[in-house]
Amino acid sequence: EVQLVQSGGGLVQPGGSLRLSCAASGFTFNTYWMSWVRQPPGKGLEWVANIKQDGSEQYFLDSVKGRFTLSRDNARNSFYLQVNSLRVEDTAVYYCARGRGPTYFHWGQGSLVTVSS
Amino acid sequence: QSVLTQAPSASATPGQRVTISCSGSSSNIGSNSVTWYQQLPGTAPKLLIYSSNLRPSGVPDRFSGSKSGTAASLAISGLQSEDEAVYYCAAWDDTLNIVFGGGTKLTVL
């Protein structure tokens, strides 16, 4: 069974940082692109970033470029979203998802990131 | 404001057929396939339709998708109370990577 289990998230002040993690199981992790999608409270879905199987290609939403970074550890079947210089408008539930997008068969449970002073 | 445009709400009674629309442009729906998701409150989105009209295993055939030009539609026939959810369309955009619609909240009356 494919599982994506997320950790990280929490309350952070504007300008702060967090690392979100996504641990994968039930499939051959190093053969899939992986993605992050976020959802501000009460709003719609927004694609954030994705990373190629070997990490050699990464793409980001314009509004997070230079502030968010992606990495993956294929030996640990995990990938990560480092979120820096956080803004109030980054407040959202962040989901990890398997694939490059826009078709995601499998999603994580979500991690809430709240940016507030 | 979302790149793909969806009506914010729709409603229908049990047993009816309802259609949810998604409008885009030549750089997204016009040149790429469409994906549809269903999201129940407090849960992650669930894949309903991909490649514009294909259903993943386990999705009832009451759900169907279509695409014409720069617009796509999700149809739900034989509406059931458990179909009450928010539905999102998504597509690859040639200039912006992946884009979503704003979502349509479906109410089963």
Q: What residues of chain A, 21 to 80, have a C-beta less than 8 Å from chain B?
A: 35, 37, 44-47, 50, 59, 61-62
Distance between CA atoms of residues B57 and B47, nearest Å: 10
Distance between CA atoms of residues A39 and A90, nearest Å: 9
Distance between CA atoms of residues A100 and A53, nearest Å: 10
Distance between CA atoms of residues B109 and B105, nearest Å: 12
Check: CB of residue B21 under 8 Å from CB of residue B71. yes
pLDDT tens, position by position, A49-101: 999 999 999 999 999 999 999 999 999 999 999 999 999 999 999 999 999 99
The per-residue pLDDT for B73 is 98
Note whether A105 contacts B: Cβ–Cβ < 8 A. Answer: yes
The per-residue pLDDT for B95 is 79
Residue A18: which of A113, A87, A107 has the closest Cα? A113
pLDDT tens, position by position, A15-43: 999 999 999 999 999 999 999 999 999 99
- Judged by CB atoms closer than 8 Å, whether chains meet at B100 and A102 is answered as yes
The per-residue pLDDT for A98 is 98
CA-based nearest distance B75→chain A, Å: 18
- pLDDT class of B97 with cuts at 50, 70, 90: confident
